[in-house]
Amino acid sequence: MDFDFCTAAPSDKIRSYCFSAASEYPCISLCTIGYSLVGQPIECMAFGKGEVCHLVVGAHHGSEHITALICVKFVLDCAKALRDDVFLAGFDVKHIFSKRRMFVVPVINPDGIDIQQGAFPKEHVLYPRLISMNPRGRDFTHWQANARGVDLNHNYDAGFAECRLLERKMGIYSGGPTRFGGQYPESEPETHALCNLTRLLSPKLKTAIALHTQGEEIYYDYLGNYPRGSLMLAECFSRVSGYTVSRPDGIASYGGYKDWVINEFGIPAFTIECGKGKNPLPPCDFDKIYEKVLPVLLTAASFG
């Protein structure tokens, strides 16, 4: 199968990429960790050996679907380097993944990326509600949420009450294209699936990374707190990518996956804001974005 990383891909295309990669490279295993609100499978790709684990997740937000392609290409490039016994971006992947196992969830919000790309079925019972929730009507260009109008990266149990207060100050009381965190933490099947995977891996998990866009920034703390090694890793990420080590503010400080992992497990966790521009980033930017993010992911995989 030809992999086209410079063209936006809906969820079914990305799933086909995952299956093709697993078919081509025996070192890649594939499993379904859960299902989206409308029943789409959420796939996890895994490779490597050993007791130490690392986790990368893409596409929390519909308009950030380019991060799903980053995840798939990362797995493909690592698998090819392992097969051919060559270095990747200056990293000895055979050595790294002889002692470490990498878990990659390319798309945690398959419904959201389909909504954003106009690939969500218009005959679906939820489609009229999506239009009513969206201030732009049928224009879903800037849609981030899942099919219930919940922003998945505000649906984790980390300062959820504070996040809710900030939502109300912003006039957000119900589902919409962005910012609404849901009725309670893990109310959405997508976040619940990722939390369950993280809980399962947590005894051996050394890092967790959520890929977002945009800004070329690295977030590493939760309300000023961060586990041992987090700042060192963030600075290493900055050196290999040129990205800026930063701290979020306002509503972005609460309810995120990174925040929950730090707060719940004391494991280094990061949000990487990939690329620069206005979401959704153009697919033609893929190569230059990936070139900077690849060494970040390999640096994380080398930890522990």
CB distance 79 to 28 below 8 Å: yes
Q: Which two tokens stand for residue 182?
A: 């849901």
Those residues with Cβ within 8 angstroms of residue 86's Cβ, 6 or more apart along the chain or in another chain: none
Identify which has the larger pLDDT, 50 or 77. Answer: 77
Averaged pLDDT for residues 82-95: 98
Note the pTM of the prediction, 2 decimals.
Answer: 0.98
| In the chain, % of residues over pLDDT 70 | 100
Residue with tokens 């505000």: 154
- For 29, the 3-state DSSP assignment is strand
The answer to whether 177 and 134 are in contact (CB under 8 A) is yes
The answer to which of 122-136, 157-171, 246-260 has the lowest mean pLDDT is 246-260
Could you give the dihedral angle defined by the CA atoms of residues 195, 197, 203 and 204, in that order, rounded to the nearest 10 degrees?
Answer: -130
Name the active-site residue from 219, 254, 257, 290: 254
CB pairs under 8 A, 24+ apart, for 230-239?
230/262, 230/268, 230/269, 230/270, 233/207, 233/268, 233/270, 233/299, 233/300, 233/303, 234/270, 236/299, 237/270, 237/272, 237/296, 237/299, 237/300
Set out the domains of the chain in order of their start, with CATH numbers.
11-301 (3.40.630.10)
Q: What was the pLDDT predicted at 254?
A: 82
Residue 264's CB is within 10 A of a number of other CB atoms, namely 17
pLDDT band at 250 (very low <50, low <70, confident <90, very high): confident
CA atoms of 2 and 5, how far apart (whole Å): 10
Q: CB burial class (10 A; 0-12, 13-18, 19+) of residue 155?
A: buried
Q: Does residue 75 carry a pLDDT above 80?
A: yes
pLDDT for 1 beyond 80: no
Model confidence pLDDT, tens digit, residues 104-152: 999 999 999 999 999 999 999 999 999 999 999 999 999 999 999 999 9
Residue carrying structure tokens 């930017």: 285
Q: Where are the alpha helices (DSSP H) in the chain?
A: 11-24, 66-84, 93-96, 110-117, 127-133, 160-169, 189-201, 230-241, 257-265, 286-301
| Averaged pLDDT for residues 275-294 | 98
pLDDT, mean of residues 247-259: 86
173 is catalytic: no
Residues in the chain: 304
Q: What percent of the chain has pLDDT over 90?
A: 96
- Cα separation, 149 vs 137, in Å, equals 13
**273 is annotated as an active-site residue:** yes
Cα 19–chain centre separation: 19
Residue with structure tokens 């399962």?
200
Going from the C-alpha of 256 to that of each of 74, 75, 77, 219, 292, the distances in angstroms are 23, 24, 28, 11, 23
The mean predicted confidence, pLDDT, of the chain is 97
Cα dihedral 215→179→34→184 (10° resolution): 140
